[in-house]
Structure 1
């Protein structure tokens, strides 16, 4: 970067807090959550929500479990005012939910805010004014004393209006752009507001300390919060609230560290919607806690519904890599990742009392309403483990481990050719084409077991079989006796069909998906060149499925390059 360009920027000054305690703390309980989707999130939309969309979003937030919801800025526009009245007049606010309204420190706005609340049982009135050095000097051109006087005047008017109403009013104050405000000055103005509202431990006010613009590394925000909590008079009469934006991309981390530093409450939005790079993402924060065994108090067990409503109301598509919620976050394309997930899932199933411990998956997808079928996705980077996982989970085919590399290569060739992700159906189609329906060289027309004999004294058995087989277009009748039907058929192929091969491996199982009456057999042969070839067969008769599997292996060997 050009040195002259870099001169425009200055590093953010750290907080002098050598005895900070927050790095040793851990989050043990969820904070008080406040959704600002309907206000902060809504004002950042290209097309703000209609009344119907606001109502749908409000109901979603209630269903998730939010008890505090900032529903709008009723003095700022008619639709914001109308929505407030829609909620109150329609009796749509549950008894355990408190709505929150935002207002600047101006008499007309404050009075209209209280008019919008008429008939409401309880509400938080959220007062803010800008306090940062930059805002004071550039936007308002006012000194520190004047800014404090502005905030205090608004606080006094709010208290006066609260005394006139039947609504139980809770107070909240935000020194906007807190992170750009000198800490002693931020403390001074907040304490001046406290002097007006006179909160108590039984009736605390909310002091919201917003990173209106994220300006530093997360640890500095945590230092600011710890410093503020230490120095605030009557700390037990205030709930310290966080409101982080994501300009540096670290809003979640900043909020988590600030909670460790002593904050009590968090304001944010679903999936980080908001001005510029957005607000802190409450979904990520809550599920981060969930993965540590902490009840977040918010229900994201049906994450797809939350996504659908949010996308519909905001008209913003969720990124496929969004934490916990994106389309691709419970998938693995890498072969080594797929193999590790497959083994981890198997270990969990073998020991259900074990806690969640699956490589690459910090959360059980079922806990957010996802299914295992979508965990592994197959493309040209995928490996044999992922392909085997899909065959097992989607279709019930438990391929022998020795068969995985061969089928993995077949699928990879198909993925390379199409240049795209393969769906489970495409993988199954490839399996059928390669193994089940491959009859170019050898095709079974008929098969019968003529006689079975068991010599109990010698513990031996024998079987006589006959078959009609089409070999390279020529129909042949085969007949032989062997230790069992499969052994007899192998003898017939060698003696009458002129084939040279050795039966090397045999596996079978009932299909676990689809028809329970079908069995699948996997057979590996060693051909005359000492190469191994796997085949597979499916039938309601286990003997026929083994005959089909043998012919499948012979067909694959017959079709090898150079033959």
Structure 2
């Protein structure tokens, strides 16, 4: 397979893994609307659903396949013929179809989920890939709970499914268990020890149970993975999935030789669309798209930002479609921030007047959380009266 070695393929699972959040189910028309925006964002693969799970999910894969032209449309299955049949049928209108099949790879899952053996699971994995290959060329295999799997057995599984026809192998940290160095070395071990690894792309799919999903995904990419599976706003089961916008902006901010084809200017708008449709608020301190991501309230930070924004901003808000950076007035703000806001209102004070206004401002800010323009006008009433 010929691939640009520095290109990272972005696999968005907002509409499948992301939609598994309780109370966040979407209608088919809502999913189609988000899928079109994901296409505009530049994602390479859209995981449109789990067709066997419900008639609604099946129909969503059908309708997204019709609506979207450029991205690969992916349908999830377990390693059995019924699931794969449903996925193949749901993908019949897709211009670039992919079946995503797989099975548990950790001893925990093999023993306590499947009540099986390593040998039987390996056989089921290979059979599923071979069966899916009868319907579509592009097959992704997921080794569920790979984060806790024995790495030698995992390598054996990966080699076997690639030999059976898998084009992508997904190494999920299903429970968000790994530390970044552990996850990175697991990916590196596969790159170095699976003899046919060059015939497939390694994909990373990390969960955020310990707050490490983004860090683990980056560690995986640094060690040879070239597809990242993520969701808008990092939504997903339990503590969520890797946040798509975080991974993309890390690769843009740090020169580690990797890039995506994502247009980050669409992030803010898409984040709000997903948040609104799923009725799931984005936490204000969320990286990249949170309401406070570009808000500066500490006096020291405000002063540094106003002197040169790069003192306290490593990403420009306009790069991710954010309306603008904001200087928020609080009791922690300094004279520079107050002067900035007064000048914005066309009020220019000399040094002594600013000192008086600032003294009045601190008294007010200690008792009032939200300082608005009317408050600012009242703070300088002494100046206005003089005039």
Which of 177, 181, 185 is the aligned partner of 2:149? 181
CA distance in 2 between partners of 1:405 and 1:261 (Å): 55
**Which residue of structure 1 aligns with residue 123 of structure 2?**
149
Tell me the distance in 1 between the aligned counterparts of 2:297 and 2:357: 16
TM-score normalised per structure 2:
0.93
Could you say if the C-alpha distance between residues 425 and 228 of structure 1 is closer, same or farther in structure 2, counting changes exceeding 3 Å? Answer: farther
Structure 1 residues 398 and 34 mapped into 2: Cα distance closer, same or farther (>3 Å)? farther
Alignment-derived partner of residue 302 in structure 2: 338
- Cα distance, 1:290–1:406 mapped onto 2, change above 3 Å: farther
Residue 318 of structure 1, CA deviation? 0.5
Q: Which residue of 1 aligns with 2:11?
A: 34
Q: How many residues align?
A: 381
**Structure 2 matches for 1:6-45, cutoff 5 A?**
29-45=6-22
The residue matched to 2:16 in structure 1 has which SS?
helix
Question: Match of 1:483?
Answer: none
Unaligned runs of 5+ in 2: none
Unaligned ranges ≥5, structure 1:
1-27, 163-168, 200-204, 346-357, 439-547, 549-563
* Contact 1:42 1:49 (8 Å CA) reproduced: yes
- For 1:222-237, list aligned pairs within 5 A: 222-237=184-199
**Native 8 Å contact 1:60 1:309 kept in 2:** no
- 2:262 is aligned, of 288, 298, 301, to 298
Which residue in 2 is equivalent to 1:355?
Answer: none
- Structure 1 residue 437: Cα displacement: 3.0
Partner of 1:202: none
Report the Cα distance in structure 2 between the residues aligned to 1:142 and 1:363, rounded to whole angstroms. Answer: 49
Deviation at 1:245, TM superposition (A): 0.6
Q: Which structure has more helix as a fraction of its residues?
A: 2
Question: Cα gap change, 1:192/1:30 in structure 2, threshold over 3 Å: closer, same or farther?
Answer: closer
SS class of match (2:296): coil
CA distance in 1, matches of 2:321, 2:52: 39
Shift in Å, 1:307: 2.5
Cα offset, 1:257, TM superposition: 1.6
Q: Is 1:240 aligned to residue 178 of structure 2?
A: no
CA contact (8 A) 1:34 1:66 kept: yes
* TM-score computed with the length of structure 1 as normaliser: 0.65
Displacement of 1:252: 1.0
Distance 1:150 1:386, change over 3 A: same
For 2:151 and 2:251, how far apart are their aligned partners in 1? 29
> C-alpha distance in 2, partners of 1:329/1:147?
45
Per chain length, whose mean CA-contact separation is higher, i.e. which structure has more relative contact order (CA < 8 Å, sep 6+)? 2
Q: Partner of 1:125: helix, strand, or coil?
A: strand
How big is the alpha-carbon RMSD for the aligned residues of Structure 1 and Structure 2?
A: 2.0
Task: Show the counterpart of 1:360.
Answer: 312
Q: Distance in 1 between matches of 2:60 and 2:205?
A: 23
Which of the pair has more CA radius of gyration?
1
Q: 1:383 aligns with which of 334, 339, 350?
A: 334
